[in-house]
Amino acid sequence: MTAPGVPAAPAPGERTASRPGPVAVEVTGLCVDLSGNRIVDRVDLTVHTGEWVTVIGPNGAGKSTLLRAVGGLLPATGGIALFGTPATALRRRDRARIVATVVQMPAVPPGMTVLDYTLLGRTPYIPPLGRESAVDLAAVRDVLGQLDLGRFADRQLATLSGGERQRVFLARALAQGATLLLLDEPTSALDIGHQQEVLELVDQLRRDHGLTVLATMHDLSLAGEYADRMVLLADGRVVAAGPPQDVLTEDLLATHYRARVRVIPGDHGPLVVPVRPTSPVQVADQGDAVDIPSRPGHDKT
């Protein structure tokens, strides 16, 4: 799965931050304007080969837009280089062999089975007007098996549950055999067991095949457990970046999410625990602040 010229990933448990590999993604001064609004604002971001970087930030911060721009799905200004080559210089087919993007809500072609949808990931390897080969089919069946989806191969994608479908979207990306995986909220619809399974699988691919991962995630504890580094985005700008313990701090999360949390040390990264306020919360209501009193019998003060 490793592309030519891309060195092997670090050994299991080894954190890349201390000994970074060659640069996989170099984003410089990236701006994205949508409908006349600046959504991503002069973002600089470097991801090294074999590294896992997760972008976090409150709703509307610009995480998905940033990821889509890096994946070539949105026009942007500034620089994006993938494995040392400016993204604009890559032909579409070559880019598809390097980068696989899982967006939040991919379009699902009507009537398509899980097998056929996942086979779309093999498109960069199938000659124009050609058919998939036995190798393509084997790659797809392998990925479906790894994601516990083998029994769904002949089912119509539209009939799957939200979580099953989300795993199929990931399967298509993994079947692509790309070196760089861009994952926008890859576990948002998954139960806690499948969240762990999927993230462990991606991490294993990172370790064994040198996969580079750039993800967005809202579950901050999970994000901190898997990322080598994190980037906190707010209003389209990078407001903090570094190892999880530097980004997942109570102060930063209070400032940028307006969240009240406790951050406690975990085995693989900080764990972020929401803490219910003990006094009435102030909620902005069309410019006016209103007090929400505690429910009778639930007054913690």
Ligand X SMILES: Nc1ncnc2c1ncn2[C@@H]1O[C@H](COP(=O)(O)OP(=O)(O)OP(=O)(O)O)[C@@H](O)[C@H]1O
Binding site for ligand X (CB under 6 A): 34-35, 37, 39, 57, 59-65
C-beta of 10 vs 62, nearer to ligand X: 62
C-beta of 35 vs 301, nearer to ligand X: 35
Measured from the CB of residue 12, what is the shortest distance to ligand X in angstroms? 31
Residue 205 in tokens:
């691919």
CB 164 within 8 A of CB 149: yes
Cross-sheet strand order for the sheet of 23-34: 37-48, 23-34, 77-82, 85-86
C-beta of 21 vs 62, nearer to ligand X: 62
For the chain, the distance separating the N- and C-terminal CA atoms, rounded to the nearest angstrom, is 57
Measured from the CB of residue 66, what is the shortest distance to ligand X in angstroms? 7
CA distances from 135 to 3, 74, 100, 159 (A): 17, 32, 19, 27
- DSSP conformation class of 9: P
C-beta of 65 vs 179, nearer to ligand X: 65
Measured from the CB of residue 45, what is the shortest distance to ligand X in angstroms? 14
C-beta of 50 vs 62, nearer to ligand X: 62
- Distance (Å, whole) CA 233 – CA 266: 23
Nearest to 226 by CA among 69, 55, 2: 55
Residue 56 CA, distance from chain mean position: 10
